[in-house]
Structure 1
Amino acid sequence: MARIISLSDLTDLVGKQTGLSEWVTVDQTMIDLFADATHDHQFIHVDPERAEAETPFGGTIAHGFLSLSLLSAMNYECVPQVREKRMGINYGFNKVRFMTPVKSGARVRGRFILTNRRYRGASMVMLTHAVTVEIENERKPALTAEWLTIIEFDPKDHPERQPEAAG
């Protein structure tokens, strides 16, 4: 798990890389399980022989949403956790772009840059991260995205809140 920081530390992290995960192997078993969970059994994901014969990928590729879903675990592994957090909420994405297919057997990792933090009311802070899922030995990433998360905390745990907190 990543290091522990305080709410007040977030200000100094804006504009900086906050995490780089370990490499994760995206193998055919992972792809097949994701296909089962999402009911997306398109042959480019689950039929290695056909994908090799009929696609330019040379075999099966991971679902784009599989690559995107790995961000949660990658985030937990390497992005600093906020000590005062009572709960974290995935608020969504402003922008996601799938750049390069992840071939079965490839290794990927997540890179996280905190681009903004904004208080919402007395007990929440919204974080915006520029995230990239990199593919080992590939020039272009699997995906880029702008990810929004919310940290809920007890207001008494952050008495030094800045004036912007009212908005």
Structure 2
Amino acid sequence: MSKVIISSHQDFEPYMGKELGVSDYLKITQEQINLFADATLDHQWIHVDEKKAQTESPYKATIAHGYLTVSLLPVLWAQIVEVQNTKLLVNYGIEKLKFNQAVTVNSEVRVRATLVSAVNLRGITKAEIGVTMEIKDSNKPAFQGSVVFLYHFN
């Protein structure tokens, strides 16, 4: 599937309520998990202690921080949609986010995105995007929810 190009508020309209696309898979490495732990000061053993996780974790491996998986949304969203002709993009919010399944180290994840709504707020487009992070070879997603962006088009 090719990337959706959006250059104005009107370009969102044909996609209302429709799937915008799916990103490529991205592998979650232990190095990413460790760096995220360092950045957030969250060094809980289930994320960073590989030996203990193998024996004591119900997953038998370390798992990615839930917020690490959420932080991958911008890079995976950019594989699905290219928004052009903007002077500013604001990450406005996250709605109804629910973590459904842990992402174990070396899993591959991707995002499936749907346009929930696009509202014109006096020249600023407020776009709500439904997102599901899928885990390769799993029937249950890592998370589901909506992200809200404010696009200030030129």
Name the TM tier (shorter chain). Answer: over 0.9
Residue type matched to 2:50 in 1? P
Query: Which position in structure 1 is the counterpart of 2:48?
Result: 46
Structure 2 equivalent of residue 105 of structure 1? 106
Shift of 1:3: 4.3
Across the two proteins, how many residue pairs are aligned to each other? 152
Q: Secondary structure at the match of 2:21?
A: strand
Query: Which deviations, in whole Å up to 9, do the C-alpha atoms of 1:89-132 show, x marking residues without a partner?
Result: 100111110100000000000110001000111x2010001100
CA drift at 1:88: 1.0
Provide the residue aligned with 1:148 in structure 2.
Answer: 148
Task: Determine the structure 2 residue equivalent to 1:131.
Answer: 131
Question: Match for 2:145: what amino acid?
Answer: A
**Root-mean-square deviation (CA), in Å?**
1.3
Conserved in 2, the CA contact under 8 Å of 1:19 and 1:75?
no
* Greater alpha carbon shift after TM alignment, 5-14 vs 141-150: 5-14
> Among 25, 28, 31, which residue is 2:27 paired with?
25
CA shift at 1:42, angstroms?
0.2
Give the aligned partner of residue 55 of structure 1: 57
TM-superposition CA deviations, 1:35-81 (whole Å, max 9, x none):
00000000000001101111100110000000000001001121242
CA distance in 1, matches of 2:71, 2:7: 26
- Which residue in 2 is equivalent to 1:6? 7
Q: Percent identity?
A: 36
Aligned partner of residue 141 in structure 2, secondary structure: coil
Structure 1 segments unaligned to the other structure (5+ residues) = 155-167
TM-score using structure 2 length: 0.94
- Whichever residue aligns with residue 143 of structure 1, its letter is F
Residue correspondence of structure 1 range 67-106 to structure 2 within 5 A:
67-81=69-83, 83-106=84-107
Runs (4+) of structure 1 exceeding 4 A deviation are: none
Higher CA-based Rg: 1
Is the contact between residue 18 and residue 80 of structure 1 (CA under 8 Å) also seen in structure 2?
no
Q: Which residue of 2 aligns with 1:15?
A: 17
Mark the runs of 5 or more structure 2 residues left unpaired by the alignment.
none
CA distance in 1, matches of 2:147, 2:48: 28
Matched residues in 1 for 2:52 and 2:153: separation? 50
- Residue in 2 aligned with 1:163? none
- Checking the alignment, whether the CA contact within 8 Å between 1:79 and 1:112 is kept in structure 2 is no
